C-alpha cells in the first residue's frame, strides 16, 4: 500500500457536488475521477454510486472509531 493520493476539489456545482477534482496534480472531471478510483488508481480512495446514479470518490475509512461514521 502506497501513500494516500493528494485529492483536492477544483470545481463544484451549485448543489455542492464536486464536478472537477485534482488527483496528484492532474485535474479530472468527477466521472473521470470515479473511473480512476474504481480501477484502484487513486490510493486511499474508492468510488461511490448513489441510488440516484450520482458517482463520486470518497476516502477510505481508517481504523479509528472516533472519526469514522457508523
User: Is 24 a residue whose pLDDT tops 90?
Assistant: yes
pTM for this prediction: 0.84
Q: What is the pLDDT of residue 61?
A: 84
Q: State the chain's mean pLDDT as an integer.
A: 90
5 vs 14, 32, 36, CA distance in Å?
Answer: 26, 15, 12
* pLDDT 10s digits, 32-48: 999 999 999 999 999 99
Question: Where are the domains positioned within the chain?
Answer: 7-59
User: Where in the chain does DSSP place strands (E)?
Assistant: 7-12, 18-23, 26-29, 45-49, 55-59
Q: Which residue has the higher pLDDT, 2 or 56?
A: 56
Neighbours of 15 (CB within 10 A): 7
Task: Write phi, then psi, for 13 (nearest 5 degrees).
Answer: -80, 175
Amino acid at each position: 500500500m502506497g501513500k494516500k493520493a493528494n485529492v483536492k476539489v477544483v470545481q463544484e456545482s451549485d448543489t455542492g457536488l464536486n464536478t472537477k477534482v485534482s488527483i496528484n496534480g492532474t485535474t479530472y472531471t468527477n466521472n473521470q475521477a470515479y473511473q480512476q478510483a474504481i480501477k484502484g488508481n487513486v490510493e486511499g480512495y474508492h468510488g461511490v454510486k448513489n441510488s440516484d446514479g450520482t458517482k463520486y470518490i470518497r476516502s477510505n475509512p481508517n481504523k479509528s472509531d472516533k472519526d469514522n461514521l457508523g
